[in-house]
Amino acid sequence: MKIKSFIPFALLLTIGMVNITGCQKGDLINNPNVAGSGSIVPVSLLLNHLTATLIRSDEQPWAVSGVASQYVIANYQYYRGNNNYNFGNTSDSYDILKYAIALQKQATSQQGNQTNVYFALSQFFKAYSGVWLTQRVGDIPFSQAGDESVLTPKYDTQHDVYKNCLSLLDNANTLIANLIKANPSLANQKVDASGDIFGLTYLQWQKLINTYRLRILISLSKRAADNADLQIPQQFATIVGNATQYPIMTSNTDNMVYVFNPVNRYPIYSLGFNPYNNFANNGSTYLNITTSTLDPRTFITSTPAPTPVYGGKAVSDFTAYVGSDINLSQASLLNNSNQGQYSFANYNRYYVSATGANAEPFVFIGYSEMCFNIAEAINRGWVSGSSATWYNNGISASLALYGLSNGQVLNIGFPITSTDPTINPKGLKQGDTWGTATVDIAQFMAKVAYAGDNAAGLNQILTQKYVAMFNNSGWEPFFNFRRTGVPAFSQGGAGIGTPNNLIPRRWIYPATESAYNGANYKAAIASQFGGSDDPTKDTWLTK
């Protein structure tokens, strides 16, 4: 993981004010090239920064989050990094908070009210920044963060951070709803065609906010019964049960999609991985699920392992697709991969375009996930309705994201560069057609037919949500595993890389917290973890 240090936001803001607008005796003068604290900054510019930087590099396809979620496993560190779970000190989301507060202030001053759409979106981004950080570490500075009069902001409990963030999201929904009610033509109008890189309309932003709130509420499932003040099941039911007041996503067209282009290149290119498909394999946690259920997404995301194919299996044979196990050392993984024992990523889909033109859209918050979240809530008894319908809708939405249709014939390309006659006897070049596979959606749906509102059904919901999030949704697959244990991630082996070879439960606080906000940091560590910033211990969220 790329590690970024940070200073508590209140201190950052204060230092920034001194650096940008301070005027002292002597030769120091205001920098004429930098806006002062009272300057007008276009809200469109602030929104553009927030939407452009919302998704971090480690949350994108084929990045650290994909490894931690066991979708892709590196077999050679030099070219594809390592697989270990030594998260160490987390990066932070205070830059999002800083710009959200700036958007809130500028929206208020420039539009003369706190009922405009930019103010509403500032509430979403504030909530997002709080949830982003608290789910990584636990208690965080939040309610006092951004107050320039407080250099050492207090730590809010994780409970209070979530309570605050849920309220911010509710307010954001209400504000946008009121704007649409006053002027219905706004519903299908883009909020800001130049500032919002996601290009969402007023109604789509409202749907996104409520869909994201459902994600947060389901993430609180372990706290639903012992925190009555949060009204977790009740809030979930209120949103799902009132589409007029709380519209949610209705199809993939409402997805928050991060678009890559020649400047903002697809991660395989931006990370320099494009020549190195040889040095990473798709993970066994993922492929064990898709192959056992005869899932056609197997043929889209992965290629068969060379050895089984040249041992006589067809490229359409699900048993020819073999994932690598993150438990193993990289030396073992490389040896096995060089012998043709593992599957690779679909080269023609992911490696041939700098813009990701052939890849599925990178959905960060989307309809398919929402369907599974609602299905889970029904299964848990939070909401009335048909969990089977929402479960099937989630699968169908994911299949549609890959462009799959029944009877479709897919070309399977040779995945790597190899002249080894034992794994490439035909002398195929990387990307050459290796064979074909026919999509059979009916066969797959029969294998994953919903088992009912019971433990088996819940396991199916969580498993299919994991499959649907392949290289999508950032760290959300990992957070779902941490919360539910489904699917069971591989751990216990040397490849995990932690002192106990187990997957950690949290990140360590940024090192600068102890330096700049030491007393509050120590108090937070003492109250949560007995005085040690221990990554093996659960926070309130997942205890």
Q: Pick the closest to residue 200 from 364, 325, 2 (CA basis).
A: 364
Q: What is the mean pLDDT of residues 366-375?
A: 98
Q: What is the mean pLDDT of residues 468-475?
A: 97
- CATH 1.25.40.390 intervals, the chain: 9-56+91-248, 273-495
In the CATH hierarchy, which fold is given to the domain comprising 9-56+91-248?
A: 1.25.40
User: What's the confidence (pLDDT) of residue 511?
Assistant: 87
Residue 420 has pLDDT above 70, yes or no: yes
pLDDT-wise least confident of 2-6, 403-407, 476-480: 2-6
User: What's the confidence (pLDDT) of residue 302?
Assistant: 98
Instruction: Quickly count: other Cβ atoms within 10 Å of residue 357's Cβ.
Output: 10
Burial class (CB within 10 angstroms; exposed 0-12, middle 13-18, buried 19+) of 253: exposed
Q: What is the mean pLDDT of residues 375-383?
A: 98
In the CATH hierarchy, which fold is given to the domain comprising 273-495?
A: 1.25.40
Question: Could you give the C-alpha distances from 178 to 184, 214, 373, in angstroms and in order?
Answer: 10, 21, 27
| Per-residue pLDDT tens over the stretch 265-313 | 999 999 899 999 999 999 999 999 999 999 999 999 999 999 999 999 9
Q: What is the DSSP string of 206-242?
A: HHHHHHHHHHHHHHTGGGTTT-GGG-HHHHHHHHHT-
Burial class (CB within 10 angstroms; exposed 0-12, middle 13-18, buried 19+) of 271: middle
Residue 324 has pLDDT above 50, yes or no: yes
**Is the distance from CB of 396 to CB of 251 less than 8 angstroms?**
no
User: What's the confidence (pLDDT) of residue 37?
Assistant: 59
Please give the mean pLDDT across all residues of the chain: 93
- Provide the β-strand partners of residue 303: 344
User: What's the confidence (pLDDT) of residue 33?
Assistant: 56
User: What's the confidence (pLDDT) of residue 515?
Assistant: 86
Residue 36 has pLDDT above 80, yes or no: no
User: What's the confidence (pLDDT) of residue 512?
Assistant: 83
| Per-residue pLDDT tens over the stretch 62-93 | 999 999 999 999 999 999 999 999 999 999 99
User: What's the confidence (pLDDT) of residue 15?
Assistant: 32
Q: What is the mean pLDDT of residues 351-380?
A: 98
User: What's the confidence (pLDDT) of residue 19?
Assistant: 33
Integer Cα distance of 472 and 69 in angstroms:
11
pTM assigned to the model: 0.93
- 496-499: Cβ within 8 A, 24+ apart: 496/83, 496/84, 496/85, 496/326, 496/327, 497/82, 497/83, 497/84, 497/85, 497/86, 498/84, 498/85, 498/86, 498/535
Q: What is the mean pLDDT of residues 114-136?
A: 98
